Structure 1
Amino acid sequence: MDTESESPVCCGSGCTNCILDQENRKRKIPSNFDGPNVLSTGHYHQFRCTHIEPVTNSTYLMRFQFVASEETTQEVKLLIPPGSHLMLRVERNWRNTPRPVNELFSKWCVETSRADAHQARVHRQVRPTIEKYDKTERDLYFSRPYTPIVVNQTERSFDVLIKFETGGEMSQYLLTSNVGDVQEWKGVYTGFCWTRNLFSHLIGFVQGVGLAPVYSIMKSILQDEEDYTRLCLCSCFSDISGIILRDDLYSMTKFWNFESKIYLSRESCTCDDESRRTCSCLSSRKKYNEQIFNHRLESIDVENLLQKFAPNSFQVLICGTEAFVAFIETCISKLNVSNWYKF
């Protein structure tokens, strides 16, 4: 599955008639996720925040549960295929109502307040301006995509990872959110559909919160007793304290067909030989057989991993920043890898 063609991009204005809605109608939802769904691609629905939990210094897990109406029956489920995403929208005038910052996020606010204000200005400037798809709809909202990592069909709830960005409009709003608040979500948007045992190996290269879609896909494969695909997830973070879902990744290695490799680009090192790619500094901080490397993921790492597999026996999944995705694309193109998908 070669994905060199560009996917449509949402303008982030929270339009009811979104270009993603039009594109999504052309895509096939897996048959096991076809049925009465509380979500529809044409409308926003209310979900109540029921849980907030810190994951790293800047990343939080938030749980949202469907707010049922009198017309909603128990037969209607929350069906979200692994790897797909939802859109969260917020009114642009939300600041008109006093909303204090949640104390749970106060530590992040203190740390970011020490950062250079220039970085915040740069962050706001780099966001590209995307032409609206529906020019007839008033610009009353802004929206952002998030990928559920856990879906509870019984409770009709889902968990998402939220990374706060300095100067980010949605981040500023979510800093004021609390358990009990009701938000508007729309979906489901999906471009990748996994077929059981389609390849003998599935390899993921992810960076930061880009872990979410690949994690959810691999988690679902591990829960499928008839899927024997071997999985390898290469995750990239800045330091050991910034590793997202570290305990979950470690517990997944108990499965015979899952392997986790974690690369740290900025972890402090006290080794005498700085040129070494293997470092003993993390030995006391790693769990038994936990594969954490004190260096950034490099092309040699990608090549050594993928060259172990027979051609066309594996598929590669990629998710991260544009620079990270471009780096992985360059690596796999040199190896003539044709089966890959980027989120």
Structure 2
Amino acid sequence: MLMPEHEVDESDCCGNGCTNCILDNKPKPSRRALLAGKRNVILSYARFKLLSNEAHNGDAQVRMLHFGYAVNDKEYDDSILDIPPGHHVMLRAVLTGHPVPLLRPYSPYWTDFVAKEFKILVKLQPGGPMSEYLAALMPLQVLEFRGPIGNYVHDVSAAKCIYIIAQGVAIAPTLPLVAQVLDNEDDMSRIRHLICAQNLQHVYFRDRLLEFNQYWNYRSCLYLAHQQCSCGSADCNELCEHLQKRLRYKEKARRVRLDVDQLASHVVPGNEAVSIAIIAGHPTFQRAMREQAVSAFGLPEENVFLL
């Protein structure tokens, strides 16, 4: 007996302790899909073919994977793909030597509603079975995904201050969160985008951040705890001219770890009707940043969202 397409069972959970577990945040029709009057193809496990598998900025361990819906040429297809910003999809893959399918969650940083395509950024882990599988994928191979899974929905009815904190490759799913605000001329929300990376080389999508920095309501800051500077001074800080020469237009960087004091320095002055924090990264990072964000920004815990 087949379950209804929106239902899930225990086998749909990947077991990795995701913040937004599929058992708690079941895939459901989105408002956008309902307005379009069409079926969202990814509500149940659907077949997507790999369109490209490329290294990001020459780093073979960081892959940009592009997928497109694998519709049968003889099948009538009146559907769309809707993965709202801040939501992830579950990949189900059958690997040689594994008795049960492996499940992993990934958050798209780009989607096409009509063409039914999406892109994810993945950092491969040495020895990881799923990482090895993804690294070896060739164009036109078919994988199965299900979603969207998540609980964050942007409310455009009132201007707010949105603090977005991202770690490493987890910057990718925060990009559509920023874009949905900046692309709406009627949205007066202000964004503070705080990015934690080892060094400048590991700041992903710098060109996209440069585009965001042209907007009046967006500010970003890079936290580069392991950035080496050519000046050789033990007292070198973010004001060092050697580091400044490596930064781009309106880029700000600090050679320290992001902590509660640093977070507090980004508080937007004034009385905002609503302030929220969105945190993307490793679960350990998310838990630590959640506590510090609540303290630094004076937020109720329900105003902190973990991707």
Cα-to-partner distance string for 1:272-302 (whole Å, 9 max, x where unaligned): 2426454333222111221122222232110
- Give the C-alpha shift of residue 307 in structure 1: 6.2
| Runs of 5+ consecutive residues of structure 1 not aligned to the other structure | 1-7, 96-138
Question: Which residue of structure 1 lines up, in the alignment, with residue 49 of structure 2?
Answer: 48
TM-score by length of 2: 0.83
Counterpart CA distance in 1 for 2:42 and 2:304 is 28
Question: Which residue of structure 1 lines up, in the alignment, with residue 38 of structure 2?
Answer: 36
Question: Which residue of structure 2 lines up, in the alignment, with residue 296 of structure 1?
Answer: 257
1:71 aligns with 2:33: no
- Give the C-alpha shift of residue 226 in structure 1: 2.4
Question: Which residue of structure 2 lines up, in the alignment, with residue 113 of structure 1?
Answer: none
- Give the C-alpha shift of residue 215 in structure 1: 1.8
Candidates 242, 256, 274, aligned match of 1:313:
274
Counterpart CA distance in 2 for 1:92 and 1:287 is 43
Counterpart CA distance in 2 for 1:71 and 1:196 is 38
> Which stretch shows the higher mean deviation, 298-307 or 76-85?
298-307
Distance 1:94 1:215, change over 3 A: farther
Distance 1:314 1:13, change over 3 A: closer
Candidates 15, 40, 63, aligned match of 1:60:
63
Question: Which residue of structure 1 lines up, in the alignment, with residue 142 of structure 2?
Answer: 182
Counterpart CA distance in 2 for 1:309 and 1:244 is 31
- Give the C-alpha shift of residue 33 in structure 1: 3.5
Distance 1:22 1:340, change over 3 A: closer
Residue type at the aligned position of 1:44: Y
Residue type at the aligned position of 1:315: I
Residue type at the aligned position of 1:229: S
Distance 1:71 1:28, change over 3 A: closer
CA RMSD of aligned residues (A): 2.7
1:340 aligns with 2:301: no
- Give the C-alpha shift of residue 40 in structure 1: 4.0
Counterpart CA distance in 1 for 2:21 and 2:287 is 23
Q: Which structure exhibits the higher relative contact order, with contacts defined as CA atoms closer than 8 Å and separated by 6 or more residues?
A: 1
Distance 1:29 1:225, change over 3 A: farther
Residue type at the aligned position of 2:56: V
Distance 1:231 1:30, change over 3 A: farther
Cα-to-partner distance string for 1:114-155 (whole Å, 9 max, x where unaligned): xxxxxxxxxxxxxxxxxxxxxxxxx52001000111111232
Distance 1:193 1:33, change over 3 A: farther
Alignment of 1:99-138 (within 5 A): none
Counterpart CA distance in 2 for 1:20 and 1:320 is 15
Counterpart CA distance in 2 for 1:22 and 1:179 is 31
Counterpart CA distance in 2 for 1:174 and 1:267 is 29
Residue type at the aligned position of 1:316: A
Question: Which residue of structure 2 lines up, in the alignment, with residue 230 of structure 1?
Answer: 190
Structure 2 contact 198–224 (Cα < 8 Å) conserved: yes
Counterpart CA distance in 2 for 1:287 and 1:66 is 37
Residue type at the aligned position of 1:337: L
Question: Aligned to 1:218, what secondary structure does the other structure show?
Answer: helix
Structure 1 contact 260–291 (Cα < 8 Å) conserved: yes
Structure 2 contact 238–244 (Cα < 8 Å) conserved: no
Question: Aligned to 1:234, what secondary structure does the other structure show?
Answer: strand
- Give the C-alpha shift of residue 208 in structure 1: 1.0
Counterpart CA distance in 2 for 1:272 and 1:23 is 50
Counterpart CA distance in 1 for 2:279 and 2:214 is 24
Candidates 227, 240, 247, aligned match of 1:279:
240
Cα-to-partner distance string for 1:156-190 (whole Å, 9 max, x where unaligned): 10011111112222101111112222111111212
> Which stretch shows the higher mean deviation, 159-168 or 332-341?
332-341
TM-score by length of 1: 0.75
Residue type at the aligned position of 1:79: D
Counterpart CA distance in 1 for 2:240 and 2:68 is 44
Question: Aligned to 2:109, what secondary structure does the other structure show?
Answer: strand
Distance 1:39 1:321, change over 3 A: same
Distance 1:218 1:151, change over 3 A: same
Cα-to-partner distance string for 1:79-135 (whole Å, 9 max, x where unaligned): 11111111111113279xxxxxxxxxxxxxxxxxxxxxxxxxxxxxxxxxxxxxxxx
Candidates 283, 289, 296, aligned match of 1:328:
289
- Give the C-alpha shift of residue 312 in structure 1: 5.0
Task: Report the number of matched residues.
Answer: 286
Alignment of 1:188-199 (within 5 A): 188-199=148-159
1:207 aligns with 2:171: no
Counterpart CA distance in 1 for 2:251 and 2:294 is 29
Question: Aligned to 2:81, what secondary structure does the other structure show?
Answer: coil
Structure 1 contact 55–245 (Cα < 8 Å) conserved: no
